[in-house]
Each structure stands twice: as structure tokens, then as C-alpha cells.
Amino acid sequence: MVRIPTPLRSYTGGAAVVEADGTSLAELLDDLDRRHPGLRFRAIDEQGRLRQHMRIFVNREIERDLETPIGPGDDVALMQALSGGCDRALDRGGEGPPAPGAADQPRVTVTPM
């Protein structure tokens, strides 16, 4: 299961969590794009790099290497990183998980799901 941020939900019919398979993040993203065409390119550029303001978390840990292996039980979240504007939701105890990675990304806040 992959969690999808709001800007990409137009590709998933509005679904916040969708299914995708793969043994690595790269495979998972390819499968995600097969199921929801067009999604991958908005988040991953043509050279296979995560776009500047997108983040991927695996089991709440930020992950930048798309060759990272993943297993069936892993929690994968694709998220948008913002430099402002979304932390108010966190301040008021917004829905979703606490800001994963926020401690090691002090200048970046993460949109709650």
C-alpha cells in the first residue's frame, strides 16, 4: 500500500492510499504508474530523480535512493515537502502521522496525510 499526497490524487481517483507492487521503490513507482498513468512523472523526473519538493518515506524514514528494497509489510508514503503553509495543520494537531523526518529536515515540513 502506498500513501498518496493530495496533489497526486487526481491520478488515483481521489484515493489517499492505493495498492502497488515491487521489490524496490523504483519498481513500486513503475507499478504505481501502470495503475495510475502519468503519476510517476509528476513526482520523478525523466532521469529517475525524485523531484525537488517531493519526498518518499519508508516506515516513516525519509528515503532518497529509489533502488532501496521494500517488502510486503513496508509502509511507503509519497509526500510533498513544503517550505511553508502546511505547518499550521501540524500545529493544530492535523490528521495523519506526525511529521516524519522533520527532525532531520528542520527547514522542511511535511504535509500530513
Partner 1 sequence: MSTSPATVVILGTRKGLFFLTGDGERSSWALSEPHHLGNIIQHAVVDPRNHTRLLAATRTGHLGPTVLRSDDWGATWTEAITPPAFRSGERLERSLDAVFWLTPGHADEPGVWYAGGTPQGLFRSEDGGDTWATVDGWNDHPMWETWAEFPYQGTPDGAMLHSVIVDPRDPKHLYIGLSGGGVFESFDGGADWQPLNEGTAADFLPDPDAEFGHDPHCVRLHPARPDRLYQQNHCGIYRLDRPHDRWERIGDNMPADVGDIGFPVELHPRDPDTVWVFPMDGTEVWPRTSPDGRPAVYRTSDAGSTWMRQDHGLPERGWFTVKRQAMTTDMADPVGVYFGTTSGELWASADLGESWRPIARHLPEIFSVEVAHVDGGFGSS
Which residues form the interface with partner 1 (CB under 8 A)? 5, 7-8, 37-38, 41-49, 51, 53-54, 80-82
CA atoms within 13 A on the CB side of 97: 15
Nearer to partner 1, 49 or 64 (CB): 49
Nearer to partner 1, 8 or 20 (CB): 8
* 93 CB-contact burial (10 Å; exposed 0-12 / middle 13-18 / buried 19+): exposed
Nearer to partner 1, 9 or 21 (CB): 9
Which has the closest alpha carbon to 41: 81, 11, 2? 11
Taking the complex as a whole, the smallest distance from the CB of residue 22 to partner 1 amounts, in Å, to 18
